[in-house]
Chain A
Amino acid sequence: MKKIGVFVCHCGRNISSTVNIDEVVEEIKKYPGVALCTDYKYMCSDPGQDLIKKNIQDKKLDGIVIAACSPSLHELTFRNTAVKVGLNPYLTEIANIREQCSWVHSEIKEATPKAISIIESIIEKTKLNESLAPVKVKVNPKALVIGGGIAGIQASLDIANSGHKVILIEKSPSIGGRMAQLSETFPTLDCSQCILTPKMVEVSQHENISLFVYSELEEISGSVGNFKIKIRKKASCVDNNKCTGCGVCSEKCPVSVDSEFDEGMGKRKAIYTPFPQAIPNKPVIDKENCTYFSKDGKCGVCQIVCTLNAIDFDQKDEIVEEEVGAIVIATGYELYPMENMIEYGAGEYPDVINGLQFERLLSASGPTQGEIHRTSDNKIPKRIAFISCVGSRDPEHHLPYCSKICCMYMVKHALLYKEHVPDGEAIVFSIDIRTSGKDYEEFLTRAKEEGNILYIRGKPARIIKQGNDLVVWCINTLTGKQHRVKCDMVVLSMSMVPSSGALDLAKALRIHTNDFGFFTEAHPKLRPVESLVPGFYLAGTAQGPKDIPDTVSQASGAAAKVLTLFSSDEISHSPIIASVNEDLCSGCGICIATCPYDAREMDERKKIVSVNEILCEGCGACISACPSGASQQKNLTDNQIDNMISVLLHSNTKALERE
């Protein structure tokens, strides 16, 4: 039988004003197995801790109960105290007689017996506690970053600059992401590519970064510290060792299709680099559109014109296997499809375009070299309507959330349009303009005043095409006046949605997303860059709509979390987790389906289920689901819980008898 010591804290008058400490001590002294019970005014103070240490040594205690405040406050303090005199930390338990007793009662005669019951039940728990050691696992200090936009670039650079290896994978043929498509960035109006391309170059030249473009994550296994991954490098049909990126192949390629990078506002060839500053500057062949592939080996012009013999039509997808310790998810966003806005004729009227398409028109390196022409007849639009909240803040038909950046990019669009076409008229239709960022409100003020931009408060209901004009119907809800505004072009500030592959990725990684496919953070305020599953970190718009400054901050935050993980060779983990009694387990697998952390796996050889001690968070879901009682939480076994409940019920009966 264990020798248990019980230390009752007064917590000044926090406990002692409603709990009769003397009575508690007298009662507990009589409790079976208690070798010692004493009290002190502040047990967490140095003299209090000394009292505990002295008694552990003098009485040779092998289990202690501190009756004091919530374990979330001082459990660690008292466990460390006990460790100093050689007692395993998991043999120290807290009986919470403050938050759960003295603070919620005003009558001593109610609080005192309750405090005694609480302490007795914790004594029962402590009696069956085992000495435990934290779970330790080696960490592979190499990171995988998924997505090569500004979030992925920033996270990769931060991790790589700290001396750790990074694998950066990107689905498209170049890194750069959405930011590479933008013209100028709010609120400073600096050129997006000018500030982005140096970072892109840094990535490509960094000795610690292995870049895989035109690649996707094929498979993943393992857990925090030790993931095994397979990357599919899609066949680009170009031998990058031979190719110098001269561009002759693209020039001569006879096939022209809509450019994804230019959002359909410009064309690209079937062999292409998405944009001139692409990193790496090596073309890929789009097999779907290339006539060599779609028409049985006809064409082959690129192969003929390439003097370096770099075109390899027989190239196959390649699977690369790697091992990493942490994964940063930076898969970015897309715009909500315009086709969903039937009332705006969107997707049908060529001159109703989305914000990214307008960015490409504004961009000096865009399909029109920064001149704004409308798609239908190449005319310079003399009046443009900019409409906000398209797809967002519409729980009934579209998306309930605020997409956060649309107001600001719309304000920017209107201003830039006025700079490009000074005699043009910009009309902004909005319900609220949300400028919650540093210098954003000032930017709006400047844009309104300098740009002579007209703001109409109201969400247009329809856009009707009349001849070459687009007519926007709306009501100004400030004046109550109805308007039919004739425009040459309409730019819809479409809402952000997660990248189309994000949901599949979430399934493959087995991590959570919200209803709209944005990856879910571990805590909305205090753990915003981690996933709930250890080892996965979130950066940028994959987690939710955000602007570039927030994206970069979050990417650096995610990198810092990765570096924290990498800062020691091994990680430790609380041992209060599930365990399996192999003799009782029937291998039914119910626990596997129940576990939210994917910590349960079938041992195919033994036909029983085991616990991955690194992944297990000790939530206890599997234990209550287990039909045979084979699953037990360490130091919170069924026996312990039964005993604790018995004591509580018994003392309740005693109390009733007394009455």
Chain B
Amino acid sequence: MKDKKNLTTEINPEIRDILIEMGAEDIYKCYQCGKCTSVCPWFQVEIYDYPVFKFSLETALGVVASSEDKKELDKEIELIYRCVGCEACLEQCPHGISTPNILRAARRLLVDFDSYPETLKSTVQKTHNVGNPFGEHRENRADWAKGLNVLDYQQGMEFLYFPCCLPAYETRNQKVAQATVGVLQKCEVSFGILGVKETCCGEVIRRIGAEDIFKEVAKANIKEFKDSGVKEVLVTSPHCFTTFKNEYPDFGADFEVLHTTQYFSHLIDTGKLKLNKNFDKKVVYHDPCTLGRKNNIYEEPRNILKNIPGLELLEVENFNRSLSLCCGAGSGGLWLEWEKDERIVNVRLKQLTDTGADIIAVACPYCLQMFEETLKSMDVNIKVMDISEIIFECL
């Protein structure tokens, strides 16, 4: 009998109460309909079962990551970190339960106990130490802008342009920041960057569960913005966008935030941005979860694409706008490796390529990175471009 596992799990109200305090307050609303589970992007990975519907109930019982067996515990931790935070479940939940928030509470607990995936530990530490999740040198942060005549931000400028860590450091993504700057300069917009003083917005480490470090980063950023006199920030990444706009105000931020697609759409509508060159391509737009579902920005990117001469805009049938499928990079997903046939990104790329498009238009550095990396190993003839890059080509 001794070597048999005890399958009875004690109900643990203490764990439940801690998790509720950490943001899992929605758990009692769940009536176990399971809608969350079948809209979850993991549902699309047919060989993988992701039991989203269980999380609220298990949290209510306080039986989260409670296994005493090391192997079982690792499995539970893996489950908690599978969530990409895309909020497809929240979008459809009849009671508005945020499973990503419930899982984030569990992650906070795991981070407190230092029991979370090693790769993510390194992401958190790097962000803490050098201000970006890749461990790149702080002094190289503005290298992407070299030779582009980009000014340092000064009080009185219209915008602070905040490119996000990926476009700051990663070669492919740097082109997005460069294109964005090109468009802004063409439209004679007054803007500047923080350059080497710039630090990651902290979105990903908050989603990973490192709440304390996130708060530290957020407060430092807010101070930096305040000291520099920043009134309005223009961002490339929806992740920076949602963090600045929806989360920083809790820590005393009082600046406006605009996503580049919002601003460029506005410039087109007001005639300040003129697209002269033809772009004779079939383009399918991939809605980033953080821009779409989280911030309800669906039409501005489409408005830009529709205004580009020659461009034919396609949609992924059944999976566009609020029903869009995540690229898999959110909430730490970019740093986690899953088995090759267990990846959300492959499903999404298949949906996108099946439309017959020449170009996948994105509006998020995470999506761009995820798609570019995955396309390398796929035998398809399709390119990924950020909307800013497409605009830049048509100037």
Flag if B34 contacts A474 (CB, 8 Å).
yes
Given the complex of chains A and B, what is the CA–CA distance between A97 and B49 in angstroms?
A: 69
Chain B residues contacting A431 (CB-CB under 8 Å) are 31-33
B309 within 8 A of A: no
A475 within 8 A of B: yes
Among B33, B37, B94: residue with most chain A CB under 10 A: B33
Chain B residues contacting A389 (CB-CB under 8 Å) are 33
Q: Which of B26-85 contact A (CB under 8 A)?
A: 31-39, 43, 49, 51, 53-54
Q: A472-509 toward B: CB 8 Å interface, digit per residue (1/0)?
A: 01111100111000000000000000000000000000
Contacts A343-B92, A462-B39 given; does A475 touch B34 at CB 8 Å = yes
B318 within 8 A of A: yes
Residue of A with least CB distance to B48 = A482
Flag if A473 contacts B323 (CB, 8 Å).
no
- Binding site of B, secondary structure by majority: helix, strand, loop or mixed? loop
Given the complex of chains A and B, what is the CA–CA distance between A457 and B32 in angstroms?
A: 9
Flag if A482 contacts B323 (CB, 8 Å).
no
Flag if A477 contacts B95 (CB, 8 Å).
no
Residue of B with least CB distance to A343 = B92
Q: A173-204 toward B: CB 8 Å interface, digit per residue (1/0)?
A: 00000000000000000000000000000000
B268 within 8 A of A: no
Given the complex of chains A and B, what is the CA–CA distance between A457 and B34 in angstroms?
A: 9
Flag if A396 contacts B94 (CB, 8 Å).
yes
Q: A444-469 toward B: CB 8 Å interface, digit per residue (1/0)?
A: 00000000000001111110110000
Question: Number of contacting residues on B, CB 8 A?
Answer: 22
Given the complex of chains A and B, what is the CA–CA distance between A462 and B38 in angstroms?
A: 8
B96 within 8 A of A: yes
Question: Number of contacting residues on A, CB 8 A?
Answer: 28
A27 within 8 A of B: no
B275 within 8 A of A: no
Q: Which of B88-107 contact A (CB under 8 A)?
A: 92-96
Flag if B318 contacts A459 (CB, 8 Å).
no
Flag if A475 contacts B38 (CB, 8 Å).
yes
Chain B residues contacting A475 (CB-CB under 8 Å) are 34, 37-38, 43, 51, 53
Flag if B318 contacts A482 (CB, 8 Å).
no
Smallest CB separation, A79 vs chain B (Å):
51
Given the complex of chains A and B, what is the CA–CA distance between A475 and B33 in angstroms?
A: 8
Given the complex of chains A and B, what is the CA–CA distance between A14 and B322 in angstroms?
A: 66
Chain B residues contacting A343 (CB-CB under 8 Å) are 39, 92, 323
Chain A residues contacting B49 (CB-CB under 8 Å) are 480-482
Q: Which of A144-159 contact B (CB under 8 A)?
A: none
Q: Which of B221-250 contact A (CB under 8 A)?
A: none
Flag if A393 contacts B34 (CB, 8 Å).
no
Residue of B with least CB distance to A393 = B94
Flag if A342 contacts B323 (CB, 8 Å).
yes
Flag if A461 contacts B35 (CB, 8 Å).
yes
Chain B residues contacting A461 (CB-CB under 8 Å) are 34-39, 43, 92
> Chain B: residues with CB nearer than 8 A to chain A?
31-39, 43, 49, 51, 53-54, 92-96, 318, 322-323
- Sampled A-B contacts (21; CB under 8 Å): A345-B318, A394-B94, A394-B95, A395-B94, A395-B96, A396-B95, A396-B96, A397-B92, A460-B35, A461-B37, A461-B38, A461-B43, A462-B38, A462-B323, A465-B318, A473-B39, A475-B37, A475-B43, A475-B51, A481-B49, A482-B43
- Additional pairs, 7, CB under 8 Å, beyond known A343-B39, A461-B39, A481-B49: A457-B34, A458-B35, A462-B38, A462-B323, A473-B38, A480-B49, A482-B38
